[in-house]
Structure 1
Amino acid sequence: MSETVSTNAESRTRTVAIVGPYLSGKTTLLESLLFVTGAISRKGSVNDKNTVGDASPEARDRQMTVEINAASTQQGGILFTFLDSPGSVEFAQETCNALMGVDAAVVVCEPDQARVLTLAPLFQFLDDWEIPHLVFINKMDRANDSFADILNALKQVSSRPLVLHQYPIGQGETLQGFIDLVTEQAYHYHPGAPADPVPLPEALREAEHAARVEMLETLADFDDHLLEELLEEIEPPEEEIITDLKMELGADLIVPVFIGVAEKDFGVRPLLAALLRECPEPSVMAEHRGIPAGNEPLAQVLKTYYTPQGGKLSLVRVWRGMLTDGMTLNGVRMGGMYRLMGQQQQSVQRAYAGCVVALARMEGVKTGDTLSANGVAVDALPKAEAIAPVYALALTAENRNDEVKLSSALTKLLEEDPSLYWEQHGDTREVILWGQGDIHLKVALDRLRRKYSLPMSTHLPQIPYKETIRRPGKNVHGRYKHQTGGHGQFGDVYIDIQPLARGEGFQFSETIVGGVVPRQYIPGVEIGVREYLAHGPLGFPVVDVAVTLTNGSYHSVDSSEQAFKQAARLAMQEGLPKCEPQLLEPILAIAISIPSEFTSKVLRLVSGRRGQVLGYDAKSNWRGWDEVSAYLPQAEMHDLIVELRSLTMGVGFFRWQFDHLQEVPDKVAERVLARSNGG
């Protein structure tokens, strides 16, 4: 492969994402594309764990893509960079980040109409960002549904019209080849070789003609000249059809559809030929992103890697100008520039607009950042929104001495994967790692162990319960008297305790008259009260309580702020248990997005978890989807995403935020208190 792209380099590069649901065959398609273009001499397989993509231990252990894998190849004078992206919803952030830096996407799916629904969120993202995309229906040798049923199912989840590029000859185990609807030439597949042209089967002539007419009519919706030709029954030339396909694909007005079997290389060469002819040039997407033309370098980080050797690599898309090795971007001098082939690196000296390269040692640069040279101020390029975390585990270092290294390692982990989030909870003091699901967090834990030698044990995070009181306590007395020889300690207070409305927190006041408690000791009283409220009678922080210092006495020699603090603690210890302590739990406001056919199931799911459904409505700009609004106790949230995905074929998702504290029902409170007391 040439180290650099020759003259007019920008028009000779294409970056294409390979996306689609889990198990659709994306990594196998990448392997086939690299093989038929000569980038690799022998194909690997996912089962044999020797593919160019999915080369990380975490991916190979699970035989699934868990991060973006970049690989480049040459075909027809074009340098293609393919970004193989995860299919699991738990790694959707990786896919979204990759899609922000491509010229087009190939959506890989299986010929199963029941599973087509899993494409809906992906199609929605592509259309929201107007990213040109094609569909490759893979595994056509295993199709059980009719081709018409598969197409109809695809049409239900795509807001853009589908344009059938090929029509299959045979189906399932009898799949023999395809008919190119542009040229009306039929082809038969052959293992290990390009498809051979054959006469168009008479039995398919009528179906092929109908499919071709539908293709042309769809294209004519965007081309008045083609529409005139069709109305006058003039056969449009192939060049005009291809031009229309390229223009309308580039504008994300249509979705061309291809078929094949990537494992056998069937249909891969026609797909590649279509990418050569119809994939928009880098300038098209740059213009769509609002990037002004010019020569000043402009790039964006799509992915951050920390290699096993500890080096940082930033995978960037060059949007404008040219990057040269050793250049300084955003004030950071790159420590090398590479083209990636999976985990292999090839050093390059320059990269043009349209290229995707990895930059070494770009410290302080994060995924999504916009990079420019020479201190030129530029507007930040749009980046994919961070997906809110929905699943959490509490972490404990297996070796206590490793705790000091954990914060640094987690920071690097989050640089690699922005859909992770960690916190040290203020109430429970636990280190909590948040992500998109169980597999997502297990991959993160594997990386902690392998890359940073930090084995972790995990458990469910504690729920940050609080407590409050139901009734007031009046004239509660606390006296602290301690004689140690010499000066003693003396403090004496009377307080009133009052419940507050939910959400009002803690209030302290005093009504001291006559100096019975000197002014300099009153802050000690408030400190003592606050310290006690950190751990109330039920064992949890106390909220929504007002305490008023009403009376007391002091000793001119033995009193001190510390003594009054202790007296206040004693008063609270005496009075608060008599004010009918009440356990409170955090309530989350959640918005659950699901296809409408699953709405009734989700309503039952929420109700079954002590949730309060507030209502549901059609989800804005999502055809056939609803959004359910509800309140849900945080204690019921832990595996909500697991059950939601199980109910909705993996496509349901939700966003949440803390809303308020609420009294725990008595039976639930009994169980919580029994657990917290070791019962």
Structure 2
Amino acid sequence: MPAAAQNGVSAAGTRRAGPRCIAIVGPFQSGKTTLLESILMRCGALTRTGSVKGGNTVGDAAPEARAHQMSTEPSVATVEFLGDTFHFIDCPGSVEFLHEMRHVLPVVDAAVVVCEADDRKAPALELVLRELEEADIPRFLFLNKIDTASRRVRETLGILQRASRTPLLLRQIPIWKNGIAVGFIDLALERAFIYREHAPSEIVPLAVDETGREKEARFSMLERLADYDDELMEELLGDMEPPRDRIFDDLARELQHRHVVPVLIGAAERGNGVTRLLKALRHEAPGLAETRGRTGILAEGPPLAQVMKSWHSSQGGKLSLARVMRGRLAEGDTVTSSGGVETRIAGVLALKGGEQSRKPAAEEGEVAAFAKLDGIGTGEAFMLGKARAGVVSAIAPPEAVHAVAIMVKDRKDDVRLAAALQKLTEEDTALAMTQIPELGETRLSGQGEMHLRVALEKLAGRYGVTVTSRAPQIGYRESIRGHAGARGRHRKQSGGHGQYGDVVIEVAPLPRGEGIRFVDRISGGVVPRQYIGSVEAGMRDFCEKGPLGFPVVDIEVTLTDGSYHTVDSSDMAFRQAARLAMGEAMPQAKPVLLEPILSVDVVIPSEAMSRASALVSARRGQILGYDTRPGWRGWDQIKALVPESEMPGLIVELRSATSGVGSFSARFDHLAELAGKQAETVVSAQALALAQGR
């Protein structure tokens, strides 16, 4: 059987059955949303194209996206092209929102990677391509803004190839006139096309002076395809012209097997190259059957869908954007999630950006929004009936690199804030809300400054909860350097039974990480056994806030002596006596402030190593070593120890120094002494905060 027939495409290029789902991805400001707009226009789904700057595109329907002129969440639109249905999903390109793509990829048949001839964006392109490679997604590369390109395509391809571990296969070459790309030559068709503004390109005769360049580029394309087709290799070695049908068969097969990344060229803003891109998708992109095979979903079984995004609207409730991977799901159907949650589909909606239209059901292969699937989160699958759906893909959320402490302006909004944050973190799995009881703060953490800014804008705009934010407090601790002893005596007489407790203690430092240790060395019953626990409890009460104002760690407290009263002694009296003794002993034992130190792994493109090292050192970081980033050619990593107090804002500066792609992971390593003016500043600020009752 011919390769194309095996893949659902005949040699004549007949269309596949069933809708296909295509992700549009790429670096920030590469033109993804503009390309979607041009596709919609070309397919008749729009009467005129919008613009990102104008805030009227289909792709950037969210208020936050339009305000910042950038995609902040996936956006879906459906088109018909030559009888085929395509669901296009425009994914954010900013590294701070790149995680939004991860739940989309498992359900798509292929991706269009939009990029431009800008070597500064090559590292960002590599991040996108790496996501696609790890998800095993067939992909085209659309080299955008060819009308403003300043270098030749072959030179550009060399730059872009460094970002891709899969060979890039040039499918088209531009036709130049006075240094401007006015059209292209399709190397598979051997035809020349001249661009027309917002219209299909016009076929023109291949100019004589273009023939040599076309033959060279075409032979290079065929050579690459012949690496995977022995028959084609023999024909090339025999100087025979291979049949065009085999070339298209090979293009479809090698794309599906992820052997090559076909490269098409165009200018989305002018609508150039869009028709040829759509035709390539129509004839060469795999369909749902291949996607099910890639993800391990059986063709037979109850209807099954996979959620790629969840939203909570202020009025319409929850919507779950999902693709039906098997069967048909209709309004009113009872479904069960991979997490075991059983619920009922309250409605099925077709989406075009922010527009919604109701429909009775979603057919196999279609993308739709399902209403009120409460308890079913982003990344989960759900299946018709009461049997639990299998897990299609398990995607861990990315590690947070930026955090803010948030507080409501009106205390009455505390309950509303908790409910809104729960919905927000369900929508966006890269957001995390954490309560820090000892500091009395609520933290929101995520992928960067803009990521959190957009989250706070959603809190206010969508949920009506306005908050203020600030840098998180640092979990300082204190300990002691020296030894000291003290007596604590609590005596109170107020008629009837009084209160009496008397203890003598010694305090001593312990090695870092040992915590708090209590030692009982009472002999002769001077402190009765039933009060020993109260003495320890009083000691631990004091350690919640030591003489410098911070929790105490790494000390040993030894109870050595004391006295009691047969009538007036009590648990409460001995607990208070222990607190008094600690208050006397600790200031004499040379208190020391401790700051948390984090182990930080910074990853950056190699050319940014010196800038990143300077940033770490400027934040009192101790660089432990440098190395190449495993599995990433042209990337390095820095291992360092950095005080937690120096971490806020690091990701902002790091990305500024690395064209937006640098990142890090951090974890607690140890506590270290902080002395001098820095310690004085911290202690003074804490004393002021305690005096003000914070």
TM band (smaller chain): over 0.9
Check the 8 A contact 2:382/2:388 in 1, yes or no. Answer: no
From 464, 471, 481, the equivalent of 1:470 is 481
1:299 paired residue among 296, 305, 320: 305
The 3-state SS of whatever aligns with 1:89 is coil
Separation of aligned partners in 1, 2:299 and 2:199: 42
CA distance in 1 between partners of 2:675 and 2:238 (Å)? 75
Indicate the residue corresponding to 1:40 in structure 2: 46
Task: Specify the alignment match of 1:420 in structure 2.
Answer: 431
Asked whether the equivalents of residues 330 and 345 of structure 2 are also in contact (C-alpha less than 8 Å), the reply is: no
Q: 3-state SS of the aligned residue for 1:90?
A: coil
Is it true that 1:523 corresponds to 2:529 in the alignment?
Answer: no
Which of 595, 601, 619 in structure 2 is aligned with 1:591?
601
Structure 2: distance between partners of 1:113 and 1:120: 11
1:3 counterpart residue number? none
Structure 1 vs Structure 2 CA RMSD: 1.8
In the alignment, the residues of structure 2 paired with residue 383 and residue 80 of structure 1 have an alpha-carbon distance, to the nearest angstrom, of 26
Given that 2:105 and 2:135 are in contact with CA atoms closer than 8 Å, whether structure 1 keeps it comes out as no
The separation in 1 between residues aligned to 2:213 and 2:423, in whole angstroms, is: 55
State how far apart, in whole Å, the 2-side matches of 1:161 and 1:578 are.
70
Deviations 1:561-618 (A, max 9, x none): 0011110000000000111111111111222122222223322322221112222322
Question: How many angstroms apart in 2 are the aligned matches of 1:665 and 1:368?
Answer: 48
SS in 2 for 1:12: coil
Deviations 1:616-647 (A, max 9, x none): 32222222222222221111111111111111
Q: Structure 2: which amino acid aligns with 1:371?
A: F
1:665 positional shift: 4.1
- Maintained 8 Å contact 1:295/1:322: no
SS at match of 2:385: coil
Report the equivalent of 2:138. Answer: 132
Following superposition, the deviation at residue 675 of structure 1 comes to 2.9
1:439 is matched with 450
The equivalences for 1:548-563 within 5 A come to 548-563=558-573
1:142 and 1:445 map into 2 onto residues whose CA distance is: 37
SS in 2 for 1:677: helix
Cα gap change, 1:150 to 1:171, in 2 (>3 Å): farther
Q: Aligned equivalents of 1:598 and 1:377: distance in 2?
A: 48
2:381 to 370, 373, 381: 370
Q: Distance in 2 between matches of 1:350 and 1:252?
A: 33
Does the 8 A contact of 1:72 with 1:82 survive in 2? Answer: yes
Matched, 1:514 2:520: no
Three-state SS of the structure 2 residue aligned to 1:366 is coil
Partner of 2:467: 456
Cα separation, partners in 2 of 1:9 and 1:548, compared to 1, 3 Å: farther
Distance 2:198 2:137 in 1: 32
Counterpart secondary structure, 2:162: helix
The partner residue of 2:175 within 169, 187, 192 is 169
What are the Cα deviations for residues 178-212 of structure 1, in whole angstroms up to 9, with x where unaligned? 00010110000112321111121233322222211
Aligned residue type for 1:276: R
The Cα shift of 1:473 comes to: 1.7
After superposition, residues 15-30 of structure 1 pair within 5 angstroms as: 15-30=21-36
Cα distance in 2 for partners of 1:206, 1:298 equals 52
Query: Once the 2 structures are TM-superposed, how far is the Cα of residue 76 of structure 1 from its aligned partner?
Result: 2.1
Q: CA deviation at 1:293?
A: 2.7
Q: Please state if 1:222 is matched with 2:220.
A: no
**2:348 pairs with 309, 323, 337, which one?**
337
Structure 1 residue 171: Cα displacement: 7.0
Matched with 1:4 is none
3-state DSSP class of the match of 1:83? strand
Are 1:114 and 2:120 counterparts? Answer: yes
Moved more, 201-210 or 169-178: 169-178
Residues 10 and 321 of structure 1, relative CA distance in 2, 3 Å threshold: farther
Amino acid at match of 1:251: H
The alignment partner of 2:474 has SS state of coil
Query: Which segment is superposed worse, 359-368 or 41-50?
Result: 41-50
Tell me whether 465-474 or 9-18 shows the greater mean CA deviation: 9-18
Tell me whether 1:181 sits opposite 2:187 in the alignment.
Answer: yes
- Counterparts of 1:562 and 1:310, CA distance in 2: 56
Partner residue in 2 for 1:158: 164
Instruction: Compare 589-598 and 477-486 and name the one that shifted more.
Output: 589-598
The alignment status of 1:618 with 2:632, answered yes or no, reads no
- State the AA in 2 paired with 1:146: R
Count of residues in correspondence between the two structures: 671
Work out whether residues 318 and 353 of structure 1, in 8 Å CA contact, stay in contact via their aligned partners in 2. Answer: yes
The amino acid of 2:84's aligned partner reads I
Say whether the 8 Å CA contact 1:467–1:540 is kept in structure 2.
Answer: yes
Q: Which moved more, 1:479-488 or 1:198-207?
A: 198-207
Say whether the 8 Å CA contact 1:9–1:352 is kept in structure 2: no
Counterpart in 2 of 1:5? Answer: none
Q: Letter of the 2:465 partner, please give it.
A: L
Moved more, 273-282 or 615-624: 615-624
Partners of 1:509 and 1:373 in 2: how far apart? 62
Match of 1:674 in 2: 684
Is the counterpart of residue 321 in structure 1 residue 327 in structure 2? yes
The amino acid across from 1:51 in the alignment is: T
1:112–1:145 contact (8 Å) kept in structure 2: no
TM-score w.r.t. the length of structure 1 is 0.96
Which of 51, 55, 62 is equivalent to 2:68?
62
Q: Does 1:656 align with 2:666?
A: yes
Q: Any idea what the Cα deviations from partners look like across 1:439-460, whole Å, max 9, x if unmatched?
A: 1111111111111111111111
In structure 1, stretches of 5+ residues that fail to align are 1-7
Which of 553, 573, 590 is equivalent to 1:543? 553
Paired residue for 1:251? 257
| CA distance in 2: counterparts of 1:613 and 1:391, whole angstroms | 21
Check conservation: 2:120, 2:659, Cα contact below 8 A.
no
Residue in structure 2 matching 1:479, options 485, 489, 493: 489
Structure 2: unaligned runs, 5 residues or longer = 1-13, 337-341, 690-694
Q: Kindly state the Cα deviation for residue 172 of structure 1 after the two structures are TM-superposed.
A: 8.9
Structure 1 distance, partners of 2:254, 2:329, is 31
Q: Identify if the C-alpha distance between structure 1 residues 555 and 310 changes in structure 2 by more than 3 Å, giving closer, same or farther.
A: farther
Structure-2 change in CA distance of 1:618 and 1:171 (3 Å):
farther
Q: Hey, what's the Cα distance between the residues in 1 that align with 2:102 and 2:540?
A: 46
Identity over aligned pairs, percent: 47
Q: Which residue of 2 aligns with 1:357?
A: 368
What SS does the aligned partner of 1:175 have? strand
Q: Check the 8 A contact 1:140/1:172 in 2, yes or no.
A: no
Amino acid at match of 1:188: I
The answer to whether the Cα contact below 8 Å between 2:16 and 2:84 also exists between their aligned partners in 1 is no
**Structure 1 position 376, deviation (Å):** 2.8
Amino acid at match of 1:412: K
Q: Determine which of 254, 267, 273 is the counterpart of 2:279.
A: 273
Q: 2:640: which partner in 1?
A: 630
**Amino acid aligned to 1:593:** V
1:94 matched residue in structure 2: 100
Cα deviation for residue 348 of structure 1 reads 2.5
